[in-house]
Structures are given as C-alpha cells and as structure tokens.
Amino acid sequence: MTVTLPGMSARAGTREKPLGAQSEVPPKREKLELLDTAHELTDFRSFADLGACWGVDGAYTFHAASLCGSELERAVIVDGNLTHLTRERAKEHPRVELVQALLGSRQALDAVGEVDALIMYDILLHQVKPDWDRFLLNWLPHTNALIVFNQNWLKTPRTIRFVDRGVDWYYRNVYVWEDDWNARERLESWFSRHHERDEDGRLERDNHWYWQFGIRPLELIRLLAKNGFELVYMKRHRHAFGRSRPWIVNDGLIFQRAAYPELDIRGRVRARARSLAERTGLLERFRRS
C-alpha cells in the first residue's frame, strides 16, 4: 500500500503541491522517479538518506517514506546541518530519525546501522577523507541497495581530483553556476585559502561545499561490482549543466547486493582452494586439528 504524505504526491508527476515547495530547491522529477524505480526493483522498507537537507529539506526522504507507506520500518536523515524545515517536517513522521553528522564519519555509520537502501544524491563527488571510493566502501556493509544520483565526469579517461588542476582549469571545466553566491572571486578566494583549516580542523582544500572529484561512471560501477553490488538500473541526463559542459552528466543509478557476487582474482583463488579442500577432506581434517 502507498500512503501519500501531507503536501506531497506519492508518485512523481502528479499535480499535487510537492513537499519541497517551501524549500530553496524544488524536488527534481528525475530524482523522484529514480526513487520510484528503486522501490519497485528493491522493495526497500528501511533506508537512510545521506545529505538529505541541502536545498530540499528532506523532500526525497519523505517521498521515499511515502512509497513504503505503512510498511516503512525506519528512515534516517543524515546531514552535517539539519535544517529547521527538515526538523519541522520530521516531527510529523515518528519513523523518520535525524542524525546530524558528517556523512563519512563513524558517528554517521554507527547511527544508521543496517538499512535496506541508502540514498546518495549529489554527494559522492564532494567526499574527501574518506574520498568518494573509500566513502562508498565504508557504507556498503550497512545496506543491500544503493540509490545514487551523481554528477559524473566524461572528459578525462580516469577519475580526477578537480582541485589538483588549479583555479583556472577548475573555472573553465567545472564551475557550472554564475550568480551572486557563485562568482569567480569566491572560487579564487577558496583556492587562496586551501592551506588553512576550518573550525573542525579540516583543510579548506577538502571543503565539501565544492565539487572535488570528476568520477568516471565506469569506475564507479566497477568498484561496486568488485565489492558485490551489481548495477540494476541506470538513466543518464545529458546537458544537465548546459551545452558548454557536455562532459558533466547527471546519472541516476541503482545497485543491489548480488546474490552471487563476482570475485577478484584473489577471491577466486581462495574460493577454489576452499572448494578443493572441501572435496578432498583437507578442510575437515584441518578443523579437527
């Protein structure tokens, strides 16, 4: 059964006023539809939404909760800054928990524990120490499904760290907004402060407010496949940041833990050795000894 939460349609594309209408950034149709598809494919009943607050104040969390309806077991919003509107909305939903913590921190991992699915919208390319790949590996034991929406990178053959290329390159290739808050002067100011540390002791160079990594989609897919998660759905949204930067695409991806995960060469060798030992009785004799 699907339950519609107050102020939001349970399915993307209806004419009801969306939950994020009061937020700075209205929920995006493609992200709502990705959640719809993920629920159909994985039938998740519990989930955590990492970085759920910025701009949308938990809108995707509450949409995912509406898909689960009365079968929702648990939903967790994790963010370094739990906005006031997110807190107010969560008061109406007793099964939605709030965790204020850095997304890659041990505090966040411990608070979430195990859930059916993790929602990672627009966060992977921001992750430094742990970097995006280690960030993913740290979270994998906590779930059986990943719902990822990421600004993937197509311009170079390998994943790169943007700030290593310098401010001019960054501005030409990465900087995708020009408004009162996002100006060339602000970018230059950030680069000039890269050696400084913020109030949490982190280098400004590693500031998560900025895009940090150009992640090649195949590297993302291979990393997860190597660690037991298979890609079950992908949809690409081209020209998401204008035709002047076609090398940046929005990819919506859904991964599930494979029933029979692929193993790397060392894993295959260990598996074959174990199989041989079991067939010959060596494993049983070793256990007895």
pLDDT in tens, 208-230: 989 999 999 999 999 999 999 99
Does residue 98 lie within any of the structural domains? no
Which residues have CB under 8 Å from 111's CB, separation 6+?
Answer: 76, 78, 97, 99, 101
Q: How many CB atoms lie within 10 A of CB 73?
A: 12
User: What's the rounded Cα separation, in Å, for the pair 256 and 245?
Assistant: 31
Residue 287 lies in a domain: yes
Quick check: is 4 in a domain? Answer: no
Is 275 part of a structural domain of the chain? Answer: yes
Give me the helices (H) in the chain, please: 29-42, 59-68, 84-90, 106-112, 132-139, 167-173, 184-192, 217-226, 265-280, 282-288
Q: Residue 47, Cα to own-chain centre: how many angstroms? A: 12
Model confidence band, residue 134 (pLDDT cutoffs 50, 70, 90): very high
Mean pLDDT of 40-56: 97
Buried b (16+ CB within 10 A) or exposed e, 252-288: bbbbbbeeeeeeeeeeeeeeeeeeeeeeeeeeeeeee
pLDDT band (50, 70, 90) for residue 274: low
pLDDT at 244: 85
Average pLDDT score over residue span 5-30? 55
Q: Within a domain: residue 257?
A: no
Above 50 in pLDDT, residue 47?
yes
Q: What is the pLDDT of residue 280?
A: 66
Q: Is the pLDDT of residue 8 over 50?
A: no
Residue 285 lies in a domain: yes
Residue 289: domain span: 263-289
Calculate mean pLDDT across residues 258-274: 60
The token pair at 5 is 């939460």
Crossing angle for the helix pair 59-68 and 29-42, to the nearest 10 degrees: 30
What torsion, rounded to 10 degrees, do the Cα atoms 159, 161, 166, 167 define?
100
Average pLDDT, stretch 266-289?
Answer: 56
- 39's CB contacts (< 8 A; 6+ apart) are 64, 67, 68
- For position 11, what pLDDT does the model report? 36
Average pLDDT over the chain, rounded to whole? 86
Run of H or E including 257: strand 248-257
Q: Which of 155-159, 200-204, 257-261 has the lowest mean pLDDT?
A: 257-261
Does any domain span residue 54? no
126 within a domain of the structure (yes/no) = no
Q: How many domains are contained in the chain? A: 1
